[in-house]
Amino acid sequence: MAYAHSDAQKNALKALFGRYRDKIAASPDTFSSMPQRCHASSLIRLFDEAVSNMSQYPFDKLNRWLGFNEPPAPESKIADGVSTLRRGAGRLT
């Protein structure tokens, strides 16, 4: 099934996933003490899947994937600005 996301939704998700991906890729050792599913390589694969195949997933599932990755975000200082983007994403319909 294909999901039709608005351009605004796609842009917001790409920005968030891209920000997380770049920060994690820059400091993969930060995640080495976490469970395997939270290691940098696993998170990067998840982000790449979300961006590459966005139309295959509902908007709320993509947002859950972002939420799943918030716990490691403060530790690696990824969360800067995410709450602002999320508030803006709430208006994306």
Give pairs for 26-34: CB < 8 Å, separation 24+.
27/76, 30/72, 30/75, 30/76, 31/72, 31/76, 34/72
CA 73 to chain centre: 10
Number of CB atoms found within 10 A of residue 88's CB: 12
The pLDDT tens digits of the residues spanning 48-73 come to 999 999 999 998 899 888 887 764 54
Size of the chain, expressed as the number of residues it contains: 93
Q: Which residues of the chain have pLDDT under 50?
A: 71, 73-82, 84, 91-93
For residue 76, give the 3-state DSSP assignment: helix
Overall pTM > 0.85: no
Block residue for tokens 């351009």: 7
Give the per-residue pLDDT at 70: 60
